[in-house]
Amino acid sequence: MAEDPIRKYSNAVEEFNLAYSTVRKLGEIIADVGRHMNNRPHVFMVSNSSVGFPPEIGLSKSVFSLNADDWPDVNKIAEAMVSLYEKRQRVKEIYASLSATDKKLVQQPDLCEKN
C-alpha cells in the first residue's frame, strides 16, 4: 500500500526541521565560542580537554567554559550540513509531486532559502 502523500510530505518536513535544528545548535556553539574568544578571552576556558587552565580562570564567576565534548569536529559539521541539504531537496521533491488538491491542504515549505 502506498504511503499517503500528505503524510509523506509531513514526515519529510519534520525531518528537515530536525536537520535544521541540528545545524542551528552547532552554529550556536561555534558562535558562542567565537563571541567569547573575541570579546572576553580573559574569562574563557575549555573543560574536558587535556590542557589545564590556570586555577584563577576557573574560579572566576563570569567564566565562559566550552565543554570540549560539545565542540563539533569538521566531519560532524559536514554531516549535519549534507543532511540538511538532502532533507531540503526531499521536501521540495515531495511537495512538487503533490496533487493540486493536496497542495491546498498543506503549507508550502519554508526551507530557509532567503538570500
Q: What is the pLDDT along the chain (115 residues), one digit of tens a residue?
A: 567 999 999 999 999 999 999 999 999 999 999 999 999 998 999 999 999 888 888 787 789 999 999 999 999 999 999 999 999 999 999 999 999 999 889 988 877 664 4
80 in a structural domain: yes
Q: What is the pTM of this model?
A: 0.83
Write out the three cell numbers for 106: 498543506
Domain count along the chain: 1
Note down the domain range covering 79.
5-37+70-105
19 in a structural domain: yes
30 in a structural domain: yes
62 in a structural domain: no
What pLDDT is recorded for position 19? 96
12 in a structural domain: yes
What pLDDT is recorded for position 95? 94
